[in-house]
Amino acid sequence: MKRNLLAASIAMSMITLVGCADDATDVATSDLSSPIQQASYGIGLNMGDSLLQEGLDDIDVGALALGLQDALERNEPRLDDDALVEAFNQLQARAEERMSELAGEVSQANTNYLAENAERDAVTVTESGLQYEVIESADEDAASPSASDVVTVHYEGRLVDGTVFDSSLQRGEPAQFPVSGVIQGWVEALQLMQVGDKWTVTIPSDLAYGARSPSPTIPPNSVLVFDMELLSIDSME
């Protein structure tokens, strides 16, 4: 049976579960004390996360469990291939519609955020549309990196709703990377900063990841907000 990507994703999760368990366990009695129970629970979490990322937050859990049970017990499928293909196609279409609606909501929220943030007196807007606010200033004679330098930075990145998606501060270890090896908004901001500066930088989506999301935690076309501290320049021309 030829399945679309969503169906294949769900099917792969089921196949993995079959490979990790000898028989189905009643979820109501699982105590998660054994490694196989814990691994099975983890697979279930991954499946649930994948479904939510597809916008499928109203999956019928009972029917899902029945399908898993039939697969694990190698029972005859209760639906034929044609019925499953049609069901998956409808599900995919609905998921795509929801994702399109979400993208529109994200785009409007981002537009509003950029406009409101740009009106703040403390915010500077560059020609590219990058926005930054100086939280702490470096010494006047402190160095600024060039595009060919490697820098060490402490940072925390979040969406406009405050959701943190990456943080060297939380990890307790700053990041080191070439200035030219990061998103365009960072490349611009870093070359404007001096060692010792702490800025809050707001990056429009076209200077970040645009429509291509690098992670499920960052929706397409997201404006990204970073608290950044330039700690050092580690190599210079």
Which residues are annotated as catalytic?
A: 155, 165-166, 183, 209, 226
Select from 205, 196, 190, 201 the least CA-distant residue to 123: 201
d(C-alpha 76, C-alpha 60), whole Å: 20
How far from 59 is each of 17, 55, 62, 91, CA to CA, in Å? Answer: 18, 10, 9, 10
Distance, first Cα to last Cα, the chain? 58
Return the sign of the alpha-carbon dihedral for residues 230, 232, 235, 237. positive
